[in-house]
């Protein structure tokens, strides 16, 4: 990041949320880089940026799409890079149609699927091409990705940006010029984002838009370029790599799905098609090594490495689906591990009501967080919706060990795996997660040891024999060794693997997470490497270990041109050494080390061997960066602007208000406000966006109990503009009540010029800022209403994350009602808006012809305000 010439920070308040990481932005600035911050709020980040641009929350694709359009129409894109390193030249099948052709939908929409069938998004075949894909290297073919991209974004104009995002054409020009000037052979632009992008029902597509832009401008895989995903907390990155997420196995291997992955062969065929390029080709070796790591000798070639031991998925089993099961009494027990869903998850009231339907729960934490005490102190006890004496849920509070009391690794935001040494032993009954689960596993196995039931075999056969110290704490390094992988047979049996290329399909290797292979190479804990930063070069490869293969910049082959030479001296990273006939440079090359830049792939060769010298994107099935995603995205191959749920603005880009494939949860308690143009939408006319502060940590479990941090940020507040304050008579340091269809909360008022109303869709939109760290309870040093109680559960269909950054609300001065009156108060607003459980729950905005998917009675797009009269489904 310090090497960037322009840093565009959008969807992140980096100076506030990643304060120490922000020093690298400052460093880049000192070296002459420009910093632009695009955000609904003027924040600590904006204060030190060269420019802040106020954007209407949720309109990011309009802005980024307009940048794409600007670069194409003004011929500012990076031709050599785009033609050869991306799929711009690939031709898409004849059946494909985009939202400009189909009134806001892509081809393949299926109401029954509640989303898309992506058949028509595929590449056209060419039997003569080595990789079987039809291409037009002149990029002129009307169905080439490049031309589709050009057409798709042609309506994303500076005027559209002004109208939908509330950004003036002058500011847009400033941004576009800066971006173009700093995206060349000699200069690079870095885009940084955080939860301001992910927490939207379109979040994955926001990120895709930035990827398309970065590919188009040749900024991927180059020093000072790329997209910096600022993961929120300590090891969020680690918990997706080694996931405690329902749909993944370690190393991003898919979790088996019933009907699709019934046999191991089905799993391989569907997940790692063998007729494609790239490193996923070897997914079978990674999977078999994982099964060997988990089930040891019980995993044999004869039983398909005990693949049948793994349970199967049947759809989404995410945290919000699990919550809905709780209401149906479908979940007995719930483990909550260092997390505070009563405060931190969307729709706090439903979270707590859901927990009241459990038989038991285990809360592991340092303090009595609100998730541990809701049955006694929660808001629903106060409102009378729950009565302590009637709640059947058993609650176990199990004290946890903190980061100084256990050894292990966190993976930070740049994939750096860092080891922490244990400093002290945990006090009292406190234990690490490692010890707790190891012990629980042992107890389960003891109870089942005589079982003959086949369903108990996986538990009994799993490898669980970790060495423990005198306190019962398992050796985290032994677990790391298993994650890294080792040889199971032969002369090297027990020896750790050096890298994932050593993983085999014959069961001779075991390894718990293939991308981490190498962290324990040579039996050395590389995550614990601590050569001081000032004693090594800028890449700092001897401080901890980055996956994969200690590589600091992914896809870095793209930092060199077609001939393998750096695009410029200034942006040199890895290059082809003619004499040594291999890739060399400042970073570990992310490419087959001896594959010459002019090497051509041959027909009939697949996997890593099939990568041509100009295929830098080695994990993609065609070796190219995807401007257009033929697969992998559930809501469309190209990012497209739709409005967030319950938006006060009508979508003037397409006659389809919201993403048709967003994931909806239809339930009492999760009602949505009517979207723009529908009666009742005026009851919740404003938009709030949630965020965090430097001085607090997520739902407060690790900050609201500490004196220093509590003193620094003692009270829940809302940020409002002077204009909004004026309109409602809100006074600084006074109180305001914010109301959504899910609940009402009170907060201290902070009137500030940092919040500005924006003009969008012909209306003035007021945005309200709400930090989400507070919760209602009696144990924390500071308490307050939780912003997440206002959130509904409308999810991104790709990653199932909730939308928290652009939500409809009303505001009024004063404190909220107490007790039962609060429930009535929220109901009264809902009734006034005419909300039912079905409000906002139709996927398609207008009735369509079931055959053609065209809109039966087209609305007048030029007058977005007049949707009221149109027929709504």
Partner 1 sequence: MSRFSMLGWPVFRQTKSKDKYGRGPSVESPKYENMRPRTEDADDVVQSVCPYCAVGCGQRIYVKDNEVIHIEGDPDSPISRGRLCPKGAASEQLVNTPSRQKTVLYRAPRATDWEEIELEKAMDMIADRFLEARENHWEDYDEEGTPVNRTMGIASLGGATIDNEENYLIKKLFSAAGAVQIENQARI
Chain positions 17 to 76 lying near ligand SF4, rule: CB under 6 A, are 18-20
Residue 49 burial class via C-beta count within 10 angstroms: exposed 0-12, middle 13-18, buried 19 and up: buried
Site for partner 1 in 362-381 (CB under 8 A): 362, 365-368, 372, 375-376
> Interior CA angle at 458 toward 457 and 464, to 5°?
115
92: nearest Cα among 81, 77, 107? 107
Site string for partner 1, 799-818 (x = CB under 8 A): xxxx----------------
214-224 burial string, b = 16+ CB within 10 Å, else e?
Answer: bbbbbbbbbbb
| Residue 763 interacts with which of ligand SF4, partner 1, none, CB < 5 to 8 Å by class | none
| Residue 94 interacts with which of ligand SF4, partner 1, none, CB < 5 to 8 Å by class | none
219: nearest Cα among 712, 573, 541? 573
Q: Any contact of residue 255 with partner 1 (CB under 8 A)?
A: yes
Site for partner 1 in 618-677 (CB under 8 A): none
63: nearest Cα among 760, 803, 766? 760
Site for partner 1 in 690-709 (CB under 8 A): 694-698, 701-703, 705-709
Which residues does 549 contact at the CB level (< 8 Å), separation at least 6? 499, 500, 518, 588, 590
Q: Of 155-163, 210-218, 477-485, 742-750, which part binds partner 1 (CB under 8 A)?
A: 477-485
Q: Long-range CB contacts (< 8 A, 24+ apart) of 466-473? A: 466/438, 468/435, 468/438, 471/425, 471/435, 472/431, 472/435, 472/439, 473/406, 473/425, 473/431, 473/432, 473/434, 473/435
Give yes or no for a contact between 393 and 386, defined as CB atoms under 8 angstroms apart.
Answer: no
Which residues does 799 contact at the CB level (< 8 Å), separation at least 6? 198, 203, 204
Q: Any contact of residue 30 with partner 1 (CB under 8 A)?
A: no
Q: Of 218-226, 335-343, 583-591, 621-629, which part binds partner 1 (CB under 8 A)?
A: 335-343
**CA–CA distance, 775 with 795 (Å, rounded to integer):** 23
**CA–CA distance, 145 with 61 (Å, rounded to integer):** 19
Q: Any contact of residue 271 with partner 1 (CB under 8 A)?
A: no
CB of 399 to partner 1, least distance (A): 5
| Residue 173 interacts with which of partner 1, ligand SF4, none, CB < 5 to 8 Å by class | none
CB of 19 to ligand SF4, least distance (A): 5
From 319, 501, 666, 764, residue interacting with partner 1 (rule: CB under 8 A): 319
Instruction: Cite the DSSP H helix spans in 387-525.
Output: 433-448, 457-461, 476-484
Q: Any contact of residue 742 with partner 1 (CB under 8 A)?
A: no
CB of 16 to ligand SF4, least distance (A): 10
**What backbone torsions phi and psi does residue 636 show, to the nearest 5 degrees?**
130, 145
Tokens of 136: 């037009």
Site for partner 1 in 98-127 (CB under 8 A): none
721: nearest Cα among 734, 706, 732? 732
Q: How many CB atoms lie within 10 A of CB 240?
A: 15
Q: How many CB atoms lie within 10 A of CB 588?
A: 19
Which residues does 112 contact at the CB level (< 8 Å), separation at least 6? none
From 95, 273, 311, 858, residue interacting with partner 1 (rule: CB under 8 A): 311
Site string for ligand SF4, 460-499 (x = CB under 6 A): ----------------------------------------
| Residue 304 interacts with which of ligand SF4, partner 1, none, CB < 5 to 8 Å by class | none
From 287, 336, 809, 844, residue interacting with partner 1 (rule: CB under 8 A): 336
**Which residue lies nearer to partner 1 by CB, 387 or 866?**
387
What is the secondary structure of 172-228 as a DSSP string?
A: HHHHHHHHHHTSSSS--EEEEE-HHHHSSTTHHHHHHHHHHHHHHTT-TTSTT-SEE
CB of 231 to partner 1, least distance (A): 4
Q: What is the number of residues in the chain?
A: 873
Site for partner 1 in 558-577 (CB under 8 A): none
Q: Of 13-21, 42-50, 506-514, 857-865, which part binds ligand SF4 (CB under 6 A)?
A: 13-21
From 87, 339, 559, 690, residue interacting with partner 1 (rule: CB under 8 A): 339
835-849 burial string, b = 16+ CB within 10 Å, else e?
Answer: beeebbeebbbbebe
CB of 1 to partner 1, least distance (A): 11
Q: How many CB atoms lie within 10 A of CB 580?
A: 10
From 31, 170, 173, 325, residue interacting with partner 1 (rule: CB under 8 A): 325
Q: Of 589-597, 619-627, 650-658, 688-696, which part binds partner 1 (CB under 8 A)?
A: 688-696
| Residue 249 interacts with which of partner 1, ligand SF4, none, CB < 5 to 8 Å by class | partner 1
| Residue 482 interacts with which of partner 1, ligand SF4, none, CB < 5 to 8 Å by class | partner 1
Q: How many residues bind partner 1 (CB under 8 A)?
A: 157
Site string for partner 1, 529-548 (x = CB under 8 A): -x-xxx-x---x--x-----
Site string for partner 1, 208-247 (x = CB under 8 A): ----------------------xxxxxxxxxxxxxxxxx-
Give me the residue label for tokens 């809302």.
Answer: 718
Give yes or no for a contact between 614 and 34, defined as CB atoms under 8 angstroms apart.
Answer: no
Give me the residue label for tokens 């994107």.
Answer: 617
**Which residue lies nearer to partner 1 by CB, 157 or 383?**
383
Give yes or no for a contact between 267 and 307, defined as CB atoms under 8 angstroms apart.
Answer: yes
Which residues does 168 contact at the CB level (< 8 Å), separation at least 6? 162
Tokens of 563: 């001939």
**Which residue lies nearer to partner 1 by CB, 444 or 667?**
444
Q: Of 48-56, 219-227, 527-535, 601-609, which part binds partner 1 (CB under 8 A)?
A: 527-535
Q: Any contact of residue 344 with partner 1 (CB under 8 A)?
A: yes
Site string for partner 1, 760-799 (x = CB under 8 A): -------------------x-x-----------------x
Q: Any contact of residue 168 with partner 1 (CB under 8 A)?
A: no
**Which residue lies nearer to partner 1 by CB, 513 or 810?**
513
Q: Any contact of residue 708 with ligand SF4 (CB under 6 A)?
A: no
Kindly calculate the radius of gyration of the chain based on its CA atoms and give it in whole angstroms.
27
**Which residue lies nearer to partner 1 by CB, 319 or 666?**
319
Give yes or no for a contact between 39 and 10, defined as CB atoms under 8 angstroms apart.
Answer: yes
From 10, 45, 383, 412, residue interacting with partner 1 (rule: CB under 8 A): 412
CB of 717 to partner 1, least distance (A): 17
CB of 699 to ligand SF4, least distance (A): 15
Q: Of 14-22, 191-199, 477-485, 499-507, which part binds ligand SF4 (CB under 6 A)?
A: 14-22
Site string for partner 1, 422-451 (x = CB under 8 A): xxxx-xxxx-xxx--xxxxx-xx--xx---
Distance, first Cα to last Cα, the chain: 48
| Residue 728 interacts with which of ligand SF4, partner 1, none, CB < 5 to 8 Å by class | none
DSSP state for residue 610 in the 8-state scheme: G
From 94, 302, 389, 569, residue interacting with partner 1 (rule: CB under 8 A): 389
Q: Any contact of residue 493 with partner 1 (CB under 8 A)?
A: no
148: nearest Cα among 85, 75, 72? 72
CB of 412 to ligand SF4, least distance (A): 8
315: nearest Cα among 257, 384, 254? 257
Phi/psi-derived region of residue 386, left when phi > 0, alpha when psi is between -120 and 50, beta in every other case: beta
**Which residue lies nearer to ligand SF4 by CB, 115 or 408?**
408
Chain residues that interact with ligand SF4, rule: CB under 6 A: 18-20
């Amino acid at each position: 990041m310090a090497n960037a010439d322009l840093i565009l920070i959008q969807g992140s308040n980096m100076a506030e949320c990643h304060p120490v990481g922000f020093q690298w932005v400052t460093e880049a600035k000192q070296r002459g880089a420009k910093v632009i911050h695009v955000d609904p709020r003027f924040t600590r980040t904006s204060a030190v940026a060269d420019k802040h641009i106020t954007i209407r929350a949720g309109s990011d694709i309009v802005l980024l799409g307009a940048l794409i359009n600007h670069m194409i129409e003004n011929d500012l894109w990076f031709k050599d890079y785009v033609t050869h390193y991306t799929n711009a030249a690939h031709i898409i099948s004849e059946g494909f149609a985009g939202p400009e052709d189909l009134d806001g939908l892509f081809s393949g929409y299926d109401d029954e699927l509640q989303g898309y069938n992506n058949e028509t998004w595929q590449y056209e075949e060419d039997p003569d091409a080595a990789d079987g894909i039809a291409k037009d290297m002149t990029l002129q073919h009307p169905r080439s990705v490049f031309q589709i991209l050009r057409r798709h974004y042609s309506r994303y104009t500076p005027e559209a940006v002004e109208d939908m995002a509330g950004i003036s054409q002058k500011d847009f020009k400033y941004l576009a010029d800066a971006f173009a000037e700093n995206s060349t052979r000699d200069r690079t632009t870095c885009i940084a984002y955080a939860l301001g992008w992910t927490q939207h029902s379109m979040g994955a597509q926001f990120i895709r838009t930035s990827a398309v832009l970065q590919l188009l401008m040749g900024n991927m895989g180059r020093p000072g370029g790329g997209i910096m995903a600022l993961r929120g907390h300590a090891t969020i990155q680690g918990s997706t790599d080694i996931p405690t997420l329902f749909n993944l196995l370690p190393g991003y291997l898919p979790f088996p799905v019933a009907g699709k992955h019934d046999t191991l062969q089905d799993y391989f065929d569907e997940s790692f098609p063998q007729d494609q390029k790239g490193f996923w080709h070897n997914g079978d070796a990674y999977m078999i090594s994982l099964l060997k790591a988990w089930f040891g000798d019980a995993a044999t070639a004869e039983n398909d490495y005990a693949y049948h031991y793994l349970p199967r998925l049947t759809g989404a089993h995410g945290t919000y689906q699990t919550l809905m099961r709780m209401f149906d009494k479908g979940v007995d027990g719930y483990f909550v591990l260092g997390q505070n869903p009563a405060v931190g998850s969307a729709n706090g009231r439903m979270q707590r009501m859901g927990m009241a339907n459990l038989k038991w729960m285990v809360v592991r934490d340092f303090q009595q967080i609100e998730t541990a005490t809701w049955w006694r102190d929660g808001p629903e006890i106060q409102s009378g919706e729950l009565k302590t004496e009637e709640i059947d849920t058993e609650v176990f509070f199990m004290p946890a060990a903190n980061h100084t009391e256990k050894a292990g690794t966190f993976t930070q935001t740049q994939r750096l795996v860092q080891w922490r040494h244990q400093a002290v032993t945990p006090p009292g009954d406190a234990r690490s997660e490692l010890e707790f689960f190891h012990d629980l596993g042992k107890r389960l196995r003891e109870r089942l040891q005589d079982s003959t039931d086949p369903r108990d075999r996986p538990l009994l056969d799993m490898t669980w024999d970790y060495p423990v110290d005198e306190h019962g704490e398992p050796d985290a390094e032994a677990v790391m060794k298993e994650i890294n992988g080792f040889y199971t047979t032969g002369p090297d049996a027990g020896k750790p693997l050096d890298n994932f290329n050593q993983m085999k399909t014959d069961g001779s290797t075991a390894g718990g997470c293939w991308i981490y292979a190498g962290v324990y190479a040579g039996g050395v804990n590389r995550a614990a490497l601590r050569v001081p930063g000032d004693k090594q070069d800028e890449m700092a490869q001897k401080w901890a270990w980055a996956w994969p293969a200690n590589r600091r910049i992914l896809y870095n082959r793209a930092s060199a041109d077609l001939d393998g030479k750096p695009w410029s001296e200034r942006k040199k990273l890895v290059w082809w050494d003619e004499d040594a006939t291999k890739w060399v440079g400042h970073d570990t090359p992310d490419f087959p080390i001896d594959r010459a830049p002019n090497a051509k792939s041959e027909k009939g060769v697949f996997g890593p061997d099939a990568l041509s010298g100009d295929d830098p994107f080695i994990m993609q099935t065609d070796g190219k960066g995807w401007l257009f995603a033929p697969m992998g995205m559930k809501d469309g191959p190209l990012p497209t602007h739709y409005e967030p749920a319950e938006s006060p603005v009508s979508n003037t880009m397409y006659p389809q208000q919201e993403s048709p494939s967003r994931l909806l949860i239809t339930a009492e308690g999760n009602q949505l406000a009517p979207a723009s143009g529908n009666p009742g939408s005026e009851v919740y006319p404003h938009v709030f966006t949630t965020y965090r502060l430097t001085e607090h940590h997520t739902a407060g479990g690790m900050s609201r109990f500490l004196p220093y941090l509590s003193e620094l940020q003692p009270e829940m507040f809302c940020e409002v503009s002077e204009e909004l304050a004026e309109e409602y008579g809100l006074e600084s340091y006074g109180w305001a009540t914010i109301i959504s269809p899910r609940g009402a909360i009170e907060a201290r008022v902070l009137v500030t010029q940092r919040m500005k109303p924006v003009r969008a869709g012909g209306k003035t939109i007021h945005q309200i800022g709400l930090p989400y760290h507070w919760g209602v309870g009696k144990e924390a040093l500071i308490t307050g209403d939780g912003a997440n109680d206002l959130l509904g559960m409308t999810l991104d269909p790709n990653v199932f994350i909730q939308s928290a950054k652009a939500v409809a609300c009303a505001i009024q001065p004063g404190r909220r009602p107490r007790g039962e009156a609060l429930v009535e108060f929220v109901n009264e607003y809902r009734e006034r808006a005419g909300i039912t459980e079905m409000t906002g729950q139709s996927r398609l905005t207008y009735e369509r012809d079931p055959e053609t998917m065209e809109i039966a009675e087209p609305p007048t797009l030029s007058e977005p305000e007049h949707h009221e009269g149109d027929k709504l489904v």
